[in-house]
Homo-oligomer: A and B are copies of this chain.
Amino acid sequence: MTDYSPPLDDIRFTLSSIADMAAIARLPGFEEASEDLVEAILVEAGKVAAEVLAPINRIGDQQGCRFENGVVRTPSGMVEAYRSFVEGGWNALAFEPEHGGQGLPWTLALAVHEMWQAANMAFATCPLLTQGAVEMLQAHGTEAQKALYLPKLITGAWSATMNLSEPQAGSDVGALKTRAEPDGAHYRITGQKIFITYGEHDLTENIVHMVLARLPGAPAGTKGISLFMVPKFLVNPDGSLGPRNDLRCVSIEHKLGIKASPTAVMAYGDDGGAHGSLIGAEGGGMACMFTMMNNARITVGVQGLGLAERAYQQALAFARDRVQGSDVGGNGDGGRIAIIGHPDVRRTLMTMKAQVAAARALCYRAGAALDHARGEPDEAQRARAQATADLLTPVVKAHSTDIGCEVASMGVQIHGGMGFIEETGAAQHYRDARILPIYEGTNGIQALDLVMRKLVRDRGAAARDYIAELRGELEAMDGALAGAARDLGAGLAMLEQAGDWLLEAAKRDRRVAAAGASPYQRLFGTVVGGVLLAKAAAAAEQRLAGGAAANGYAERFLRAQLDTARFYNANLLPQAAAHAAAVTADSSTFLDPDDSDF
């Protein structure tokens, strides 16, 4: 019942119709990403996900991690699975060939990540973090740092962590207190960090902690923060491991979900200071960390997608299997049917399916923007793609993780009473999913990022640009999709008006703009998801017109794309107007009352 079957057709079709992998493969540097190679990678990754990672997802939840004397032991099978993951070269897909990467597009890496995350999110959180660190080191490290660390991080022989939070500094990173004292060419790090995912574990021979800290005399707030690379074991100049660094895992948390992923409290410098090397400029820690976080935020969106797909598959299998009740439209002869035959169950399944498809479209589209931002020969084109990637990052993170939670909850519901029993497995997805709207910046923070940094800072330019691009895509739609295109055009108009309203509000009172941030983000995700699904449906229609068999997809698969888009349009897109109303609603009802009036 908890099997995972890689949805290769959905992945392929989204890659081609939404992310335009063919165009990405034409960019300089991505020539390797031929259709054949992409196909081979997807098929092979699917096997690893289904055969290596998925089978240990449940036992990982049951056993959790054990902590004894500073050592963390991951659940049964994790060490072996991680070894096979590294040996397969799976960690290296999207990185620079110079240090051992395969130089493939992020879009492809995200599609592969979807399968890792669906198969075993607790496991795949480890490479997610390592990959964010690689991105960051590639962008901000010195040549020496890159040469010493990247080869091991790119293969995954070593893992990496992000150390931001402290007890008094969660979303409020600027409040952190961890100190860094210069000591020759290096620094001595002292402080405590909390919520460090994979802060300590037994999967790799070394763990490289990326630690935000303050230099002596640094200014208050985020401007005074620098980033340090602090390995568990010091690294000799020849790359071999040296002595143990002055850091330790104090404890691990007892969590609601992703129990196979250890969440550590880390102590640095109990014995005089942990040895760290500065990355980037002094006081430039947040810029470096944002490179890492932006990468991680999109991949966390992909976690939401993967988990939702997994929950959908499990619910669908149950609904096909579970015989209960008779056909509500039948003649009352009492013949029992599988519950997938009940209209309300079908509505729920279709809602799950459409939300998964919309999240996939959003995630891959953001990946494509990243690849164009890296690979376009023309600078203006690169900048435009980067602006799109920046705009979409908070939407991908927040919208896909909200969907992850909602779909996991629907998955429990489809199972009825069985869904509440842990042995069924549906409840694990519900528990695991709940971290996603929280970590890597809560979804409230994403919404604020979207409004304050992505919308207000450039006075709406990137948002208007992107809306215009989507309008262009709608214009091409006719036939069965003409009605959908009209509704979606109205949705885009709402999105634009809500954005304009927020721009005006921010001029008057930033609190009023902030009050509308979350519904704006939901509006954004709802409308853009709908446009992308309609685009996929239009591509399916074209293929059907051109003779489906020749294109490698079954005719019924292509027809299903049309049903999914039409369902979304009629049943989910109407929520856009509700979100738009909430953006522009008078916020004095909740901004003005005294705190004690809540």
Binding site for B on A (CB under 8 A): 165, 168-172, 174-175, 194-195, 220-221, 253-257, 316, 320, 323-325, 327-329, 334, 336, 338, 340-350, 353, 405, 409, 412-413, 416-417, 419-423, 427, 430-431, 434-435, 437-439, 442-444, 447-448, 452, 509-512, 514-515, 517-519, 556, 559-560, 563-564, 566-567, 570-571, 574-575, 577-578, 581-582, 585-587, 589-598
Contacts and interface: CB of A to CB of B under 8 A. Distances in A.
A195 B590 contact: no
Given A342-B514, A515-B347, A590-B346, A405 B409 contact: yes
A598 B254 contact: no
A343 B515 contact: yes
Contact of A563 (B324, B556, B593): B593
Given A338-B595, A437-B413, A567 B581 contact: no
A316 B593 CA distance: 14
A270 to B, nearest CB: 23
Nearest to A566: B589
Contact of A438 (B341, B347, B417, B594): B417
Contacts of A423: 254
A444 B348 contact: yes
A337 B452 CA distance: 19
| Across the A-B interface, the 5 shortest Cβ-Cβ residue pairs | A570-B585, A329-B511, A343-B515, A350-B590, A574-B581
Given A346-B515, A515-B346, A170 B590 contact: no
B421 A253 contact: yes
A531 to B, nearest CB: 18
A518 B344 CA distance: 7
B515 A556 contact: no
User: How many copies, total?
Assistant: 2
B421 A438 contact: no
A440 to B, nearest CB: 11
A398 B320 CA distance: 25
A514 B172 contact: no
A431 B575 CA distance: 27
Given A170-B324, A256-B431, 14 more contacts: A194-B417, A256-B412, A329-B510, A338-B595, A342-B444, A346-B598, A347-B587, A405-B409, A412-B434, A413-B438, A420-B434, A560-B597, A563-B592, A574-B581
A457 to B, nearest CB: 14
A567 B594 contact: no
A575 B582 CA distance: 10
Given A350-B598, A570-B589, A324 B171 contact: yes
Given A172-B324, A172-B325, A435-B420, A581 B570 contact: yes
A581 B342 CA distance: 20
18 contacts: A170-B324, A221-B334, A253-B421, A254-B422, A256-B412, A256-B422, A257-B420, A328-B514, A343-B587, A344-B518, A348-B518, A350-B598, A405-B409, A412-B438, A563-B589, A566-B589, A570-B585, A570-B586
B578 A574 contact: yes
A221 B325 CA distance: 10
Nearest to A570: B585
A448 to B, nearest CB: 7
B574 A582 contact: yes
Nearest to A554: B597
Contacts of A327: 511
Contacts of A563: 589-590, 592-593, 597
A349 B590 contact: yes
Contacts of A437: 413
A299 B343 CA distance: 27
A420 B255 contact: yes
Nearest to A169: B324
Contacts of A328: 448, 452, 510-511, 514
A590 B567 contact: yes
